[in-house]
Amino acid sequence: MKRYIKNMNMLSKDENEKLKGFKVCVVGCGGLGGYIIEMLGRLGIGHITAVDGDVFDQTNLNRQILSNDESLGQSKALTAQRRMELVNPLIELIPITERITKENAEAILYGHDLIIDAVDKIDTRFLLQNSASKLEIPIVHGAIAGWYGQVSTIFPGDNTLDKIYPIKDGDGLENEFGNPSFTPALIASIQVSESLKVLLHRGETLRNKLLYIDLLENDYIVMELME
Amino acid sequence: MGIEVRLFSNLREDKRKKVFFEFEEGINVFRIIRILNVKEEDVEILLINGRYGEIDIELNDGDTISIFPPIGGN
């Protein structure tokens, strides 16, 4: 299919074919999630669930690719669905217009091959880790703050977030630094690349590792998190 | 004993990536961050000689500690 011809060669024909069968749940359709959904859809990941209970507001316009003057006040998850209809109508995008909670997490996440953590609260990230572990689904974690970002790939039972966030209900630097336009795009790209490798069992992933990026000082550090 | 301290992102107030300090024998990271005025909640990841470490482990002469603050936004 011509649409995917530039995906070829870096992936085999079989791998390209497989993509349409995968189900990926993207939790959060904001700074990270908007870019992630766009890239998953253009790659040809066949089934995407987009979860977000929020609507767009003006503070999202500096970085969230799904936000613009017309989408202000509209559901982020439904906007993702409309965007995917334009970008790649072959993709089934299921919007969930609810905030993920203890009560609904397992029902929302059930049946997916992979979960992508694109949320904005540290305690919600732990909720994803716990639910995904029970459901035996891997997670690709990403977070940003100002010039800084991080990515890790978490398999069921790894509990990597326990090492990344010793304070489970704490706040990150984003409260101090905000989030610009370029950091989410960078971290989202790495999350999608990790996701593709996990789905296809290719390459080396960031399992039990954390990639920590400081764009201000150009530090790109992969740290081992195994004790 | 000599300890190399590497602070990352906003913890690096004086812009230096690596700082060498002389500390007394038996010091741990918890006491070092107090001396350096780094709040415990600002320590997201702690590496000792490049490996994941705990804040209360006793350090040895020549050790390197790296401290990364928390990132949680989207």
Residue range A12-34: average pLDDT?
A: 96
Q: In the numeric block, which tokens belong to residue A85?
A: 């209809």
- DSSP 8-state code for residue A56: B
Residue A144: the pLDDT is 96
Shortest distance, CA B11 to any CA of chain A (angstroms): 11
Are A165 and B44 an interchain contact pair (Cβ–Cβ within 8 Å)?
yes
Query: Which residues, 6+ apart, have CB-to-CB distance to A86 below 8 Å?
Result: none
- Distances A154 to A140, A186, B18, B29 between C-alpha atoms, Å: 6, 19, 30, 27
Residue A120: the pLDDT is 93
pLDDT at B15 over 80: no
Residue A116: the pLDDT is 98
pLDDT at B50 over 90: no
Residue to substitute from A32, A120, A219, interface B, most B β-carbons within 10 A: A219
Residue contacts between A and B (CB atoms, under 8 Å): 97
Are B52 and A226 an interchain contact pair (Cβ–Cβ within 8 Å)?
yes
Highest mean pLDDT among A1-15, A98-112, A158-172: A98-112
Between residues A21 and B24, the one the model is more confident about: A21
Could you give the CA distance from residue A19 to residue A13 in angstroms, rounded to a whole number?
A: 10
* Residue at B61 is within a domain: yes
* Residue at B41 is within a domain: yes
CB atoms < 10 A from the CB of A13, how many?
Answer: 9
Q: In the numeric block, which tokens belong to residue B28?
A: 């741990």
pLDDT at A170 over 80: no
Are A171 and B52 an interchain contact pair (Cβ–Cβ within 8 Å)?
no
| Chain B residues inside the 8 Å CB shell of A32 | 74
Q: In the numeric block, which tokens belong to residue A184?
A: 């989410």
CATH, residue B43: 3.10.20.30
| Chain B residues inside the 8 Å CB shell of A172 | 44, 69-73
Spell out the domains of chain A, with CATH numbers in brackets.
2-224 (3.40.50.720)
Q: In the numeric block, which tokens belong to residue A174?
A: 């984003």
DSSP symbols for A156-218: TT--THHHH-SSTT---THHHH---SHHHHHHHHHHHHHHHHHHHT-S---BTEEEEEETTTT
* Residue at B74 is within a domain: no
| Chain B residues inside the 8 Å CB shell of A176 | 10
Residue A95: the pLDDT is 98
Residue range A111-133: average pLDDT?
A: 97
Query: Which residues, 6+ apart, have CB-to-CB distance to A168 below 8 Å?
Result: A122, A123, A126
Residue A108: the pLDDT is 98
Are A121 and B45 an interchain contact pair (Cβ–Cβ within 8 Å)?
no
Split into its structural domains, chain B has a count of 1
* Residue at B36 is within a domain: yes
Residue B14: the pLDDT is 65
b/e for A32-55, b at 16 or more Cβ within 10 A? bbbbbbbbbbbbbbbbbbbbbeeb
Residue range A120-149: average pLDDT?
A: 96
Q: Which domain holds residue B61?
A: 2-68
ipTM exceeding 0.90, yes/no: no
Q: Which amino acid is at A98?
A: E
Could you give the CA distance from residue B11 to residue B36 in angstroms, rounded to a whole number?
A: 10
Residue A129: the pLDDT is 98
Q: In the numeric block, which tokens belong to residue A21?
A: 């069968």
* Residue at B58 is within a domain: yes
Residue A189: the pLDDT is 98
pLDDT at A227 over 80: no
Residue range A22-33: average pLDDT?
A: 98
Could you give the CA distance from residue B9 to residue B11 in angstroms, rounded to a whole number?
A: 6
Rounded mean pLDDT of chain A?
95
* Residue at B73 is within a domain: no
A56 alpha-carbon distance from chain centroid: 18
* Residue at B54 is within a domain: yes
Q: How many CA atoms lie less than 13 Å away from A11 in the CB half-sphere? A: 21
